[in-house]
Amino acid sequence: MADQPAPPVDDNPWDALRRFTNARIALGRAGSSLPTAPLLAFNLSHAQARDAVHQPLDTAVLHDALRAAGFETLDAASAAPDRDHYLRRPDLGRKLGDTSAASIAAHAGATSEPPEIVFVVADGLSAFAAARHAVPFLTTLRPKLDGWRIGPVVVARQARVALGDGIGELLRARIVVVLIGERPGLSSPDSLGIYLTYEPRTGRSDAERNCISNVRPEGLTYEAAAFKLHYLLNEARRLKLTGVGLKDESDALLATSANPDALEN
């Protein structure tokens, strides 16, 4: 009986661990290279990550979706005139363009009582994240904000996190919350980051913010992220600060709420 030919792919003994992670482990081997299927999957993920960085945010669709969900909206753009400048000049993405600054200031001037919270939905480095997750996250969060005075949702193009400081300052908000597309990874081209800053003003540093990362169905769910943000908002209002002085202890509360019997043990 003739010897059977060796299979073209050598399986990796860690293959069973792949069900626990999206990381590229236990891909197997074909000769001295990767098998075709994981190589093609890597190329696809790389293309999706590049698309996430360069794809423009469809602000008209996002405005319509936010308004349909019951949110008032404003439009804004940074000083970066296009995507190329945005990627090459991060400083331009941190400050408002003159037209947007004037428009937001005019809105603030027509408002008698300033908001406690202003949400900014920004394209950042992944317009996919803002387009896919901002509206469902905000609709998940809104029932938790009973009693809070919420300002308009500002949809921002070519934006970095610090753009929210200028927006919040012009709107005289107590807290600004920036929902922004994070730098895409090879398994997460649509990860949404959430940054909150107490008493926003131009010149705030990253040490004065709190961050909730990887908000998406495959990462931190909308419900879990809303729970954490609600906790941080309440603590920021109580302590009158955000950043390194505000510790996120919401995980312990979330575990308790999921298992009330733990209080008795």
Which residues define the annotated binding site for adenosylcob(III)alamin? 161, 182, 211
Q: Which residues are annotated as a binding site?
A: 161, 182, 211
Alpha helices in the chain (DSSP H): 36-54, 59-68, 83-88, 98-109, 127-141, 163-170, 222-239, 250-258
CB 146, CB 199: distance < 8 Å: no
12 pairs with which residues across the strands?
A: none
Q: Which of 197, 264, 257 minimizes the C-alpha distance to 232?
A: 197
Q: E strands within the chain?
A: 73-77, 117-122, 153-157, 175-181, 192-198, 209-215
CB 255, CB 231: distance < 8 Å: no
Q: Which of 248, 108, 82 minimizes the C-alpha distance to 171?
A: 108
Reported as type and span, the H/E element at residue 48 is helix 36-54
Distance CA 26, CA 219 (A): 21
CA torsion angle 224 148 200 128 (round to 10): 40
Amino acid at 110: A
Distance CA 175, CA 182 (A): 21
Strand-pair category, 153-157 with 73-77: parallel
75 pairs with which residues across the strands?
A: 155
